[in-house]
Amino acid sequence: MDKILIDIKKKREFSGLPNSIIERVAKFTGGEIKESRALLRKYFGVFLTNKILKGKLSPDEMLTNHRSSKKRDYRKFYRKIFSEIESVDSVIDLGCGVNGLSYKYLREVVGNVDYVGVEAAGQLVEYTNKYFDNEGFSAKVISGDLFDVEKILKILKKQKKERIVFLFQIVDVLENLERGFSEKFVLEISKECEKIVLSFPVESLSGRKLVAQRKWLVEFLKNNFIIEKDFLINGERIFVLGKK
């Protein structure tokens, strides 16, 4: 496994990923390096273009160049999410990507809220934390693997109530690497937060409507949570979830 790790991490886009993620993918592919790289590229590398990896873009340019955030108008995005949420003390953004760079827009809507992101790509963790330091924001991003549920729960327990967890466009990644894991994951983290905001894409980057409607996920959410909001915005379907 050590040799596989070394070979995979030779690629720049994978060099900052936690070993645990690479090991899980390698196990999934039976140790095939080419297949492992292809799977990692599909779920992680696709977000890490050369422009992103070089880290020479401004925070707003990073947001508009990153695949998961480029279609979002963050002011409208956060206003819509938080319009009927009365209290929030901390936001925990799991699989945050470059989303932490939108923190200034989040503050416009909810005030000087604590923000903690968890992200696998070390390059994005480093860039975002430098941004927070430069701006003097009460925020940070932690390098982590979302499959390490115990670590995620420890992070959640440390945050101020009322805690809101963001799960933006990560269900597909979790589910494809381990079938059935995403449901267990959402249920576990719901024990250590007051609300969850979950999203999945309904359009491709070109604006084409996606065929997959994730009926299984919608049914799971209906059965286990109070769906306080369910809306479409900028090619994403957003759920604001409360506890039953």
We report the CATH number of the domain holding residue 80 as 3.40.50.150
Per-residue model confidence as pLDDT tens digits over 8-21? 777 777 777 878 88
- Among 25-29, 121-125, 204-208, 210-214, name the most confident range: 121-125
Q: Judge whether residue 47 has pLDDT over 70.
A: no
Question: 218 lies in which domain range?
Answer: 68-243
pLDDT at residue number 53:
61
Strand arrangement of the beta sheet that strand 236-243 belongs to: 139-143, 114-119, 90-94, 163-168, 195-201, 236-243, 225-233
Same domain, 31 and 87: no
| pTM, full prediction | 0.89
Question: What is the number of structural domains in the chain?
Answer: 2
Which is nearest to 172 in space by CA: 182, 163, 162? 182
Give domain status of residue 62, yes or no.
Answer: no
Same domain, 76 and 35: no
Give domain status of residue 60, yes or no.
Answer: no
Same domain, 74 and 109: yes
Same domain, 22 and 93: no
Give domain status of residue 52, yes or no.
Answer: no
